[in-house]
Amino acid sequence: MAKNKISFKLKNKLSELDTLCQKLEGFGESIGLSPKFVFETNLALDELFTNIISYGYSDKKVHHISVTISLQDSQLLFSIEDDGMPFNPTEVDEPDLGCTIEECKIGGLGIHLAKNLMDEVCYQRCKDKNILTLRKHIQDPRPAKKRMKG
Amino acid sequence: MEIIEENHGGINIFKLNGRLDSNTSQGFEKKIFQAIDDGSKSMIVDFKDLDYISSAGLRVILKATKALKREDGKMLLCDMQDYVKEVFEIAGFDSFLPIVGTMDDALQGF
Q: Which domains does chain A have, with CATH numbers?
A: 5-145 (3.30.565.10)
Taking each helix axis as running N to C, give the angle between helix A109-117 and helix B55-70, from 0 to 180 degrees, rounded to the nearest 10.
130
Is residue B56, in this structure, part of any structural domain at all? yes
Chain A segment 58-87 residues within 8 A of B by beta carbon are none
A144, pLDDT greater than 90: no
Given an 8 Å threshold on Cβ–Cβ distance, is B90 in contact with A117? yes
Question: How sure is the predictor about A55, in pLDDT bands with cuts at 50, 70 and 90?
Answer: very high
- pLDDT tens sequence for chain B (110 residues): 999 999 999 999 999 999 999 999 999 999 999 999 999 999 999 999 999 999 999 999 999 999 999 999 999 999 999 999 999 999 999 999 999 999 999 999 99
Average pLDDT, chain A: 90
B90 touches chain A (CB under 8 A): yes
Mind telling me how many Å the CA of B7 is from chain A's nearest CA? Answer: 26
Number of domains chain B is built from: 1
Residue B110 lies in a domain: no
Helix B82-91 vs helix A35-55: crossing angle, to nearest 10: 50
Angle among Cα A136, A141, A146 to the nearest 5 degrees reads: 150
Prediction ipTM score = 0.93
Q: What percent of chain A has pLDDT over 90?
A: 78
Q: From the list B65, B90, B97, which residue is nearest A113 (CB)?
A: B90
Cα A57 from Cα A84, distance rounded (Å): 5
CA distances from B93 to A108, B6, B59, B85, B87 (A): 14, 25, 10, 10, 9
- Domain span at residue B76? 2-105
Which residues from chain B sit within 8 angstroms of residue A109, using beta carbons?
55, 58-59, 91
- CATH of residue B87: 3.30.750.24
- Please tell me if residue B26 touches chain A, with a CB cutoff of 8 Å: no
Distance CA B99, CA B58 (A): 13
Please answer whether residues A53 and A65 qualify as being in contact, where contact means their C-beta atoms are separated by less than 8 angstroms: yes
